[in-house]
Structure 1
Amino acid sequence: MTHSPPPQLGDQELEEHDFEPAIANESGPSTPPTRKPSPEDSSSPEDSSSQLQQADVINVESTTMDEDALPADATSSQPISSQQSNMLAPPSQSQSGSRPSSPLPKRTSLVPTEPVKEPTIEIVPRLVIEKMVLVNFKSYAGRQEIGPFHKSFTSIVGPNGSGKSNVIDALLFVFGYRASKMRQGKLSELIHNSSGAEDLDSCTVEIHFCEILDLPGPDNFERIQGSTLVVARQAYQNNSSKYFINNFASSYTAVTTLLKGRGIDLDHKRFLILQGEVESISQMKAKAQNEHEDGLLEYLEDIIGTSAYKDTIEKSAIELEALNDERSERLTRVKYVEKERESLEERKREAETFLKNENNLAVKQSALYQIYLWDCKKKATKEEKLVTQLTAKLEEDQNKHKGLKDEVQALENEHNARVKEYEKIDKETSEILKQLAKIDREDVQMQENRKHLKNKEKKATKALAADKHALSENQSWVRNHEADLIKHQSELEKLERNLEAAEEELENIRQSLKGKTEEFSQQIEVHQKELAPWTAKIVAKQSEVDMAQSEHDLLQEKAKNQRSNYEDALEALNTLKNSQASKESEIVELQESINASAGQIANMERKIKEMATRESLLRDRANLARNRAEEGKASQQKTQSRSAVLNRNLGAIDDKYDVAISTACPALDNIVVDNVEVGQQCVEFVRKNNLGRVSLILLSQLPKRNLNPIQTPENVPRLFDLVRPADPKFAPAFYSVMQDTLVAEDLRQANRIAYGKQRWRVVTLDGQLIDKSGTMTGGGTRVMRGAMSSTLSTGEYTPEAIAQLEHERDQAEAEYKFFQQEKLSLERELSSTVVNVPKMEMRLSMFKMDVEASQKRIRESEKRVEVLRNEAEPKPAEVAKMKQLIKKATELRAEVTSIKKNAQSIEEKIKDLQNKILDAGGVKLRAQKSKVDGLREQIEALGDRSTKTKVAKNKAEKDVVKLSAQIAKHEKELAEVSEDLEKLEREIKEKSQEAVGIRKRGEEAKQIMEEKKEQMEEMKHELDAKIKVINKIRTAEVEMKNQLDDLKQSLSEVERRVKHWKDLLQELTIQEVDYDEDEVVAELQEIPETELGMIDKHELEQQIQMLEQQISSAKPNLSVLEEYKKREEEYLARAKDLEEITLRREEAKKAYDELRKRRLDEFMAGFQIISLRLKEMYQMITLGGNAELELVDSLDPFSEGIIFSVMPPKKSWKNISNLSGGEKTLSSLALVFALHHFKPTPLYVMDEIDAALDFRN
């Protein structure tokens, strides 16, 4: 470190260090983290430095030490004026650039020379001092501006007396410190006084604050606009001062409050480390010896803030001790009085119980009698009202429905008459339908006949037309053949003339060549004469061959045509037979369907008759179920609440089995109860009222059994199955007394059943009983009757029974409606079937007629097939003739061949000679010869054609004769068919007119039937409705009469009971008891009706019975009650005092414990944080040492205090008081920095903290 010569007053040198501060953190003033550090947290000074609080640090250093004491690379300075002071960092090079003559050990820098990469954090604004303005303050004359300061660390260095400490004094001045803290006696002495600046009136110091946002890099930041804060203080010669905030007058309180709000700790002044204060920390004891001293415990408690609890805790302890003493005194008094009271407790309890029981008995008896009385009055009022209502309603209903029976009878008579009328019309309609069906069948038959005749006419017409067409064609062929023959003859004559001319021409040519060819001609002539007989023979024989072949071909074609006609007829016959088989199959199916439909109609008619009977039964059953349900509802309305025992019969049985069940079941008079508790109440009631013996059946104790019907010998009924329980829940009770007892018609049947393979208990209808053991009882002149009624009594209609009756009613009505729908469906099916049967019969008739016609056609076809079969096979004469013709033609061809063979040599000779002549005659002769030959061939061909035409003409003439005969036959057949058709059309027309009349009558009859049926149904509905009303009226009248009788009898009984309960109420009294003012027995009062309804009467009866037993057995001493009362009052008064003091003591103890716990918790939390930071700071400062704060008493840190143990590098653990001066300073600084971590502040000011540091430290 270097410096310039001592400056004039107000001058100084500042150096700015271009590196990150050793004390820094991530954000502005905030609460430090309280997490417990891991070992890694303290392993690296660099890591811990990144967690420090960034703040303005002003380090004021003395320069009394020579600049050579620092390493050359750690010093650098530049002079600046006092008007432009800067925040500086440690120098890096001497200003003069000189280096020490001998190098000293180089001290390692506390901060890396390169910026440390900080973790990504949220940037928050923080408060910094931007600059200071001093006006005439101490050694600074005029207006001196110091700044701008560095955002993190600034050192102010200079020689002694240069005014470094005055910067701190300026801060203290603005922060409101007294003049003595600034080394002056009074405020006026702070005003600058020097030559040339005498008699100044005041001095002023301004501190300019602002908020910034830290940016990456040691010098980068962003100033927040509008965050400037200027705090100033002005002192005057009269020793007064004024404060200003942003140039506005303020006060000391406002300024200090503002600065405290910005995080500056003005209470403990930790941001300010003055000269000598570092060493004072190392001299602190573990705990102060008296209240006027400060130990390390008090120093830390003051910073942590738990010292504020000390006075409060002490006061709370004194208060708690006083309350404990007072409570002990009062507790002794209470125990004494309690002991005297407990000696009277037993006798007092006996007397108290006795009086309570007597009064409670009277109160409960009064309540019970009032309940009985209220029940009776309520019942009487209700029954009187019901009597009036029922009487009026009965009279009204009787008058209202007086003539309804006559109306019902008239409706029944009219309905029966209409039923008979409907049946009559139905019968007439059936006859009409039968007639119509008959006419329809006849019409179908005639239609089928007409169809057959039409087909026959059509076929005959078609055959006639075909024959006429064939006749016309054959006649045309005859004419054509005659014309062809004439034409052939004409052509033949022409060809012969041409031949004659050609031969003449040929002869002329030959004559012209006679000299040359005469010899040849003569030879030819000779040969021709020889050939002439042969040629004549060949021509004759060839003509015979052609005739024979033609005749054979005609016979063969005739046979072929007859075979084809036979095959066509046979195919038509097979088609007719297949069609007939199909129709016969359909006839069988239709006949079966008709028979089945007839059976169905008979069954449906029978079922409809049966259903008509059952419909009446179901209607009566539905009416009965409806009446029973209505009766049950009416019965329920008059039923009053009774006790748990149902005082009525629980079942009914048909009168037929009255003697049998009365004989077999003597236990029918047993009382049925729900459970054991109700049974005990019944027994107690009977015993109390001396009602004799009763037998009870407990439903809850009965075993569960299968109550379904069982298979019995001879299918006799089981007695249990004949009983109709009022409620299904009572069935087990009946089974328990009847078991599987069977009912027989007589004793003979009973013996068969009882003594079979399985023993049975059997009773006969006349009362004879055979037990399983074989014993027989009953018989005689007297028989048992009346044990069970045939009908359930009015009172037996429970809600469950009524629900069952309503279910039976709904089921019966649903069954009746379903049955009606089923019957209607069956009637519709019957109607549909009846309508379909005539249609099927008509189709059957049509098919039968088709079959008959088909059979007729088949017979005709079979005849024709038979004829054609005979014709298809050639006749023996024709076959023989065809064979003869073939043989003849063959023989003739052989003869022709033989003749030709014989004449061949002559022809060859002639041919050779002719060729010679032709050769001699040349082309002309050859041509003429060829012409002659061609004409001869034409004449020969024309002769062949003429022969064939003659044969065809002969055949056509024969066909004309045959077809003429067939046409005459067809015309005769058509005349007969036309006559039959005309006759049939007349019959069809007559039947159609007759059918129209019958069909019209049928439609009218059907319409009348529908109308009558609709009228009957309407009348039936009306009649059913009126019958239903009559049944309801009768049921209601009987029910109302029964109810009136029951109500009148019940009303008389109720009036008697009202008088009885009033008398008992008058007899009740209550004793006056004053032994306990807090528990006063109520007087006998009249209970409101609304409350009476909420009291459980049965529980009240049981309580009264228990009280009576307790009173009768007690023998108390009533005089002890007064004495006990006195002791009780005294005890309660003392106990109340004890309770009050105990409550106060507990509250004081709770507050004392809470204060101590809060002090301990807060102190230990802060202590752990400070201790951890101390370790980190010391390790960072000393590069390897260790330091920690230790509790002398780990269980109570406030009893013995705290010791500061240090282990300098390469040394052992020592108490701070045993360290050297430099080591003490470093240890104290580590603690100071740890405290700054615990409670950070925006700025720290330290004055010559390195004064005690030697070269090593």
Structure 2
Amino acid sequence: MVYIKQINIQGFKSYKDQTLIDEFSPATNVIVGRNGSGKSNFFAAIRFVLSDAYTQMGREERQALLHEGSGSAVMSAYVEIIFDNSDGRFPTGKNELYLRRTIGLKKDEYSLDKKTATKTDVLNLLETAGFSRSNPYYIVPQGRVTALTNMKDGERLNLLKEVAGTQVYEQRRTESLKIMTDTNNKRAKIDELLDYIKERLAELEEEKEELRGYQEKDKDRRCLQYAFFHQEQEAIAEKLEEIDEFRQGGGDGDENRDAFLDGEKAIAQLDSRIKQLTRKMELLRVDRRQLEEDRRDTAKARAKIELDVKTLTANQSSTEQARVRHQQELSSVKKEIALKEAELAQLLPDFTSKKANEAEVKRNLDEAEAGRNRLYAKQARSNQYKTKAERDRFLKKEIEELNSTIGSQKANRIDGDEEVKNVQSEIRNLETEISGLQERLNGWSGNRIALAEEVSIAKDALEKLQDERKLLRREDEKLHSVIEDARKEVSMAESELSRTMDSATSRGLATVRRLKQQHNIQGAYGTLAELLEVEELYRVAVEQTAGSSLFNYVVDNEETATQLINALNADKGGRITFVPLSQLRSKPANLPNASDAIPMLSKIRYDKKYQPAFEQVFGKTIVCPNLTIAAQYARSHGCNAITPDGDTTNRKGALTGGYLNPKESRLQAVRALNKWRDEYETLKARQDEIRKELEQKDQEITAAYTQQQKIDQKMRQLDDGLDPLKSDLRSKNWHLERQRTQHEKLIQNQADNARLLKDHANKISDYEAEIASDFKKALSANEERQLEQLNVSVHELQKQWNEHSRIRRELESRKQSIELDLRENLRLKLDQLNSQEIDLVTGSGSVSNSVETKLQENERQLEDTESTIANLEQEKSQKEDEQQKIAVLIEKHQKRMERSIARKAILTTSAADCAKNIRDLGVLPDEAFEKYKDYDPKSIQSRLKKVQEALKKYKHVNKKAFEQYNQFTTQRDSLTKRRKELDDSQSSIQELVEVLDQRKDEAIERTFKQVSKEFAQIFRASCSSRSWSASHST
């Protein structure tokens, strides 16, 4: 038996918070409580879900059901009833059913088993379980029983009918009677239609005979017309074959055209070669001017060098003896320094290793001591505090203090790091300054010569920079000439490309290119012509297939296209067709799979992301070796076909082609423009780089000049005396020692700070672990073992640290001794000897000789280039004469071909008309193909005229008599079948009404008996000495 197992309420009337009421009995449950405890609201909640009340509620009624107590307002409420469905009363297949109703100010929703459901679904489910809408007495509210006992006899009878569910029977009986009425009306209409159809069929029987005569004559007419059109079609096909044979036989024209194209290519190559040599000659002239300038500068430098050589030769003998002594002493000092440095290099790895070992042992020692101290402290706390709470308060306070200390120490570490960096920077500065002062002091006697040498070096560096700047200026001058030529070529290429398109498209492409560069539009890719590469063999075919679509501009999506179109309109920058890739949807084309039909897309190279754009233009075109094969595939597969020479045909049979001027090639114009534009931009970028380098070189020259001035100033300062230098050196040495001492202290402080931070963190971890542990009066056995191990480790680590420290001090003492000897003695001597070394600077006239040689080579190259240009000009003139002759032959052949193509186009149109006329004849009888096959056209036309005259007699014949007769017959059969179905339906409905009347009576009788029985039992139980029975009269 199904029963309520659990109720969950929230926000409903007096139930603000979620209230869960469970453990209901499957038998009788009694809800008791004081007034105002929520009994009535609990009963209302059940009725709220089961829908015998609260069915049609407005906003105010829903709000009245929400909790209105103190606190925040309740915006929604729900009541959920969980039924025990063990007996499967609810057809859900589960042992429990969750039914929830949720309301708010603007909502009223149901859910079944945690899933949203409609009100109709809920009511239907409840009705299947016995909660009928027509019998709402499964809930008996307060006062209902009293009202029942006070009812009159008529009211009790109506109540019994309502409880028995007879209203459902009456409702269905009424619906059935209404259906019977509709059925009778439909039967009457069907009878009327059947009478009309019988009359019409009788009329059509007479018209059918007349139609048969007409059809015989019409069939003869179509046979004659087919024979006439078919003969005309065959005659046109023969003429087309003659034209194709003439075109295929035009070998001389093809040879002349190939020769002409080869000549055009040869002339273009010669023009390119002449331009290259002309540019080379211009560059050679520039080199000659620059070399002449170098020759004049070199002559002046050679005269100065010769004067310096004479001066140096006079002092050479005394200087040579000093040089020998100087070299011997210098060699001795270098050997001693090498020995010391080798000893120091051998010592340093060992010292570094020992120092690291010492630090590692010290760190382990500190950690072991810290761990031991923490255990001792924990042991002391176990005896110091009586309870866990007292110990934990102390530990938490210690953790707070340690966290505060850690924060302060981290701040101190940051300040300490900054201070270390400052001290290190100060030490580096002092060491640099001291090194400079020491060098000046130790080599004071030779500093004068050293400074003179620095002046010479600075001057050489300045001259070198000036020479480099001169070379850059020369290269800039050369590039200016080359860039100007490239700019002219770009202008010519743009002009050539513009002639292959209309002016609006030309201006549009120029504007889009400018906008793309200015705004860095990533989604603007370029025209189809710029995005593809194709072999020269298929270039003409690609151009003819695409036509002006070659200049369609490919973009990523419609947003980019809209942006560019708006900019074009705003600037009035021309017109262009954009192809947004995101909007293209390519469909597979029906292309033949044969060796003589090559898909054009397979011969084009492009990035795969542009696939939709190329499929749209080239996807339905194939390349065939000749026009005959192309026309066959075009007709059979409904595609476009083209030959490598550009002759095209489409699926409708139209042919286009003829001579194409190679100078008007769009793809070649695009390639030429891209080539010169890339070269121009590359040269321009190189020129910009050179000019930046010139600016940088000017800055370097200024810096070198400033450096030379500084060296001159140093030389003047050197003459001011030695005492200030020594005093400054002593002061800086003293300050450096103080800074080094301070640096060591700071490093040690940082190490101590890091160690303390780690120790504090370990303490916090131990304190937190101790807080989480139980309170014990002594250390655990594990902690006792750990303390014992730490005592042993501390003792061992202390011994190891002492030994490592001793070894490190010994190595450090040896290291400091070697470094002191190198720094304070040997290197000072080496610097002094190096500063006294004198080199003889010599010059020669080799530079001048080199310049003369370059000038001669330049003159020779100029003569060779001029001679080559003259030869090429002569060869070009001969090629142009040959081209003129070939062009005349091609023009004549072209005119003949054009006439044949025009005639072929007319014949193709006539053939298409014949095919259309044949198709218009419709489905022909079998005899049409053979009956008039051998008749001549005149005989066919004569017989056709007679047949057409005979057909005029049937002008008013009903040509659809057969069709109408069949339609009416079909309608008659259909209506007869429908009338029989209505008769069967009426019988079924009458039987249903009789059954409903019978069941209604049975339901009333059964319900009355049940009520009488139950009432008698209850009355007998309440009044044991009396008996009572109920009766009714029909």
TM range (shorter): under 0.3
Q: Point out the structure with max Rg over C-alpha.
A: 1
TM-score by length of 2: 0.26
TM-score scaled by structure 1? 0.22
Bigger proportion of residues as helix: 2
